[in-house]
């Protein structure tokens, strides 16, 4: 976690800057609950060939904050938030990615 008042975009650690950018897209609604996050390889390529480990670390940071859900073999999905509460993300009911996947199977 960053100290209060710190600017994550100015942090020299790439994974912190990437996490801040993705967090901003989640909080402003650009990335919506249930949507998938670009793959680690895609994120690495989009950021000038950053190491995959760096991008994976950013995603794990957001997962630890509860903003992302990781589904083994499928990737990361947006888990929220709906709003902010005391500076922390307010989480919607736990995203049930398996339910989303089953509903897609039922549609076919």
Q: Tell me phi and psi for residue 85, to 5 degrees.
A: -140, 115
% pLDDT > 70, the chain:
64
| Pair 75, 55: CB distance under 8 Å | no
Mean pLDDT of 85-103: 49
CB atoms within 10 A of CB 21: 15
The closest of 90, 57, 87 to 79, measured between CA atoms, is 90
Residue 44 scores a pLDDT above 50: yes
Distance, CA of 35 to CA of 12 (rounded, Å):
29
pLDDT-based confidence at residue 54 (cuts at 50, 70, 90): very high
In the chain, what are the domain boundaries? 8-107
* Beta bridge partner(s), residue 76: 70
Name the CATH code of domain 8-107 (choices 1.10.260.30, 1.10.10.10, 3.40.50.280, 2.160.10.10). Answer: 1.10.10.10
Residue 106's pLDDT band, with cuts at 50, 70 and 90, is low
Look at residues 105, 101, 34 and name the one whose alpha carbon lies nearest to residue 73: 101
User: Is residue 37 scored above 60 in pLDDT?
Assistant: yes
């Amino acid at each position: 976690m960053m100290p209060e008042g710190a600017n994550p975009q100015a942090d020299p650690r790439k994974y912190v800057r990437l996490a801040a950018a993705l967090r901003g897209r989640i909080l402003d609604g650009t990335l919506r609950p249930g949507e998938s996050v670009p793959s680690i390889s895609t994120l690495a390529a989009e950021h000038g060939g950053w190491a995959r480990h760096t991008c994976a670390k950013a995603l794990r940071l957001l997962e630890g904050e509860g903003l992302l859900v990781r589904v083994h073999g499928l990737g990361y999905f947006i888990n929220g938030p709906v709003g902010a509460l005391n500076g922390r993300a307010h989480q919607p009911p736990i995203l049930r990615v398996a339910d989303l996947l089953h509903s897609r199977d039922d549609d076919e």
